[in-house]
Amino acid sequence: MKIVILGAPGAGKGTQAKRIAEKYAVAHISTGDILRENIKAQTPLGIQAKGFMDNGQLVPDDLVVALVADRVQREDCKNGFLLDGFPRTIAQAEALDKIMPPDAVLNIDVDTSLLLKRLTGRRVCAKCGAPYHIDTLNGATSCSLCDGELIHRADDTEETVGARLKVYEAQTKPLIEYYQAKGKINDVDGTLAIEEVFAACCKVLDGLQ
């Protein structure tokens, strides 16, 4: 089972990816994790990637592809894998099609205005990092776990979130079109409850087996 999962910041992609990986015993592969692992282990690819990052540059497509190609050969991918955060560009998608074409692409779809609401409403405990949302806080201003102060992070302001969502949309639209043309896109309504979104993902994945 070779799956790609797409979803905007705040769409709940990470939560779903984790559950899918558990249920289907496939490796959850996030590009961020692979980069960190390779840099830490000082592999040849990791050293190259670090060079670009240290210069404030993006890690080039061919290097990211090489890292992913290496990762999917590992033992924990014998049942398959779920790629999270890759591909990000058409060039990466084409490269992936050459080595390991995905069976399906899950697109966790959430309306931008709802994402804005979800993300700008986030509050985080300044002491222990526990996440909250103003919709469920009932006016509380301190952490229920450690009594720490709840803060609105600069990353979660409307301006920053709006900019992040625009970048995501511009980046992802061509990818969605690319996979649509191959009949591989499966839109999942990400506005539903976590359980329901998961059930919808499972329905798509069960259909592949």
Catalytic residues: 13, 88, 122, 153, 164
Options 9, 14, 148, 162; binder of Zn ion; rule CB under 5 A = 148
The rounded distance, in Å, linking the Cα atoms of 155 and 188 is 26
Tell me which amino acid residue 206 is.
D
Which span (34-42, 67-75, 137-145, 168-176) binds Zn ion, by CB under 5 A?
137-145
Q: How many residues bind Zn ion (CB under 5 A)?
A: 8
Is 140 a binding residue for Zn ion by CB under 5 A? The answer is no
**Binding positions for Zn ion, 62-121, rule CB under 5 A:** none
Closest CA to 34 of 77, 4, 5, 71: 71
Options 41, 47, 114, 128; binder of Zn ion; rule CB under 5 A = 128
Per-residue buried b or exposed e for 35-54, using 16+ beta carbons within 10 Å of the residue's own CB: beebbeeeeebbebbbeeee
Judged by beta carbon, residue 32 or residue 129, the one nearer Zn ion is 129
Tell me which amino acid residue 41 is.
A
**Least separation in angstroms between CB 144 and Zn ion:** 8
Is 125 a binding residue for Zn ion by CB under 5 A? The answer is yes
Instruction: Give every CB contact of residue 131 below 8 A, 6+ residues apart in sequence.
Output: 122, 123, 124, 125
Residues forming contacts to Zn ion in the complex (CB under 5 A) are 125, 127-128, 130, 143, 145-146, 148
